Chain A
Amino acid sequence: MTASQTRVPRSSEMLHDYLLSEEQLEAMYRYMLLSRRLEERMMTLNRQGRADFVIAGAGQEAAQVGAGMALKAGVDYAAPYYRDLGVMLVLGMTAREAMLNALGKLDDPNSFGRQMPSHWGSARRRVLTQSSVVATQLVHAVGVALAAKMRNDPIVAFASCGEGSTSRGDFHEALNFAAIHKLPVIFFVENNGYAISERTEKEMPVPHVADRASAYGIQSAVVDGLDAIAVYQTVRPAVDQARRGAGPFLIEAKCFRMWAHSSDDDHRRYRPREELENWASRDPILLFRNRVEEDCLFPPEDLDAIESGVDVEVRAAAKWALDQPDPTPDDMYGFLYREGDDG
């Protein structure tokens, strides 16, 4: 760990300033489970030929939900990446909306069927529209933070990406500019060990993405991305200090991609069977559940209630979304340019 990296709380440690209430812990579990169950249902729909494409965050829910809960929803700006269903749910996206998105339906609030699924965007939730080009969104977040700083608005811009994105120039340009101007940007890297089939050692010669931050004078931390509470307790102080003007912060969450890159990929071609088997016992949702039970964080019977609620919600959302209108050919037209003045 380099000098600029901060001390990271272990999962067994609850920092006094960043204690989570019982309600927050229950919400944390609910968001993680909702994300997983939605993605499972999307993959089923894909295998049934009813959803063309799925790209999922399964295995990364603890990182996404822990980080998302450290933000002020509706106040802070987010430029998440395509695996971040968990972040989107925390920021207010509903199960129904997630299903509309997965099916490319006309009423999908992210892109109205114009983009592939999981290319998020929501003006009212302050989520920047994003493309499939990785790392471009990091620079957009820096631009948002620059503008906010010019206006003295106390917001934070959250930008996330996978570790694969950190090889692109935009990652480095974003860190550099944010550091020069001491901008309130949280760079959140979900390191799931793979850029499609390429393992991290083919992507970079240093053990941690966070090591790269020190070259730009940016504070950084490495956190266990399978531990939602630890992620929250790492991201939240970084968000708070960025909001106070302390500048950008990079957090690398060590995660695990449980599934293939996408519904079009078969990871058995490049991942050893033992790797997947070993990680199955480290499913972040399972770990959270065990933790709740062992540490008596909240009554364990609540877990079951949350689970049955999520199952009902996901089934109903999928059923409802399948019946919603599809775009027509003419829906490709319009909105190339915004008409009139700039509002």
Chain B
Amino acid sequence: MNDDYKGYRDPAKKVLIEHKVRVWSEVKMRTTRGHFEGTILPRSETSDAKHIVLKLANGYNIGILSDTVETIEEQSYKEAIYKIPEKEFPTDPKKPNIKLLGTGGTIASRLDYRTGAVIPAFSPGELYGSVPELADYCNLTTEKLFGVFSENMGPEQWIRLAEAIGEAIEAGTDGIVIGHGTDVMHHTAAILSFMVQDSPVPIVMVGSQRSSDRPSSDAALNLIHAVNTAGKSDIAEVVVSMFGPTSDQYGLLHRGTRVRKMHSSYRSTFRTIGDIPLAMVDREKITPLRSDYKKRRNDRRVKINTAFEEKVSIVYYYPNMQPDIIDSLIDNGYRGIVIAGTGLGHVNKPVYKALERAQKKGVAVYMTVQTLWGYVQMYVYETGRRLMELGVIPGANMLPEVAYVKLCWALGQTDDLDKVKKIMLTPIAGEITEREPYNGYLIYQGGIPEVEEFLRTIKR
């Protein structure tokens, strides 16, 4: 592979070739805007083709319009190598053995010149070098399963992940940490909650909202919280361990089927919906907030069930939705549809006839609520009762994304819609709860005096 003109296209590339310089050349450049000296850097492929990137001696980068270039003189050539201080991870027989499974995503990332973006590329070994505190908590072994952006996760990765978890448990690990991008972390957490049954050890998913190339990153602390949980906690479930508040204070352990990413960029983006989190975690301890979780065991009896039907869709209802939306799914051979309905679980009348058709074609249709908080209740209004007659099954308080992965999983196991219904409506991993606690739904409203007081004094 020729990286001499990494990311450059014509006309800038032509100018570099013409003047016999390449990426990493240290050059003196004469242009119509004056003289510039520096090192030629790779160019991001998504940037325009006209400019040459120069790193100046003071560390700044600038772009030079290739049209303005008169002469370029190469002074020397020195390729930069991005290196992370790698440390051999110390082992201590008294510490728990943790398996870190890598999937890509922000917790393991580095800068890439070609795209000008943060891409998943840290090897788990390099991770130790940047977070030496991990050795205070555990002995760590790592396995990089694949390197995909969070949004590119899918059944193939989920199945591989579930299998790897099973292998690690059988091999005797005391806890599992999964590094994962945050965008669809809650989808993965949910499907793993179904694919991995009766785990004897904690399965902790972790990521970061601020990439690890920056000093303010939450990656290191999240990782520390995750290994602390995996090694020490007695919560033998799939949990998401991410920042509680935006401050560097504590993390929260969210049950895999009740967690959701709720802000596009906040550190404290993950929230347990319709319930309270399982526990708080900091550098020292894990503080359970409830006791009804599955406990750690010494046996290795885990059940891995990676059944998955891909022909399932999620439909976010909006006013004036037309039946063709549902029809096109039926026509394309979809076997399951999860609707995120309004209010208690409703859609408008025009959609009815498409739902009737779905029922006839044997498509499994489940209702969830786009309010996210609260239960589906289809008896309250006539609309709901009519929808049930059309075969739409209320999904209780399953989150739409959770119902979606669960339906994929259920349809993967059987064609019998009654059996599917039984799987769907039987709580397996807390995805449906019998009661919503009074403190489960809390979205405080900024600006109100008592909330302001709370922000000033308690919330950090």
| A interacts with B | no
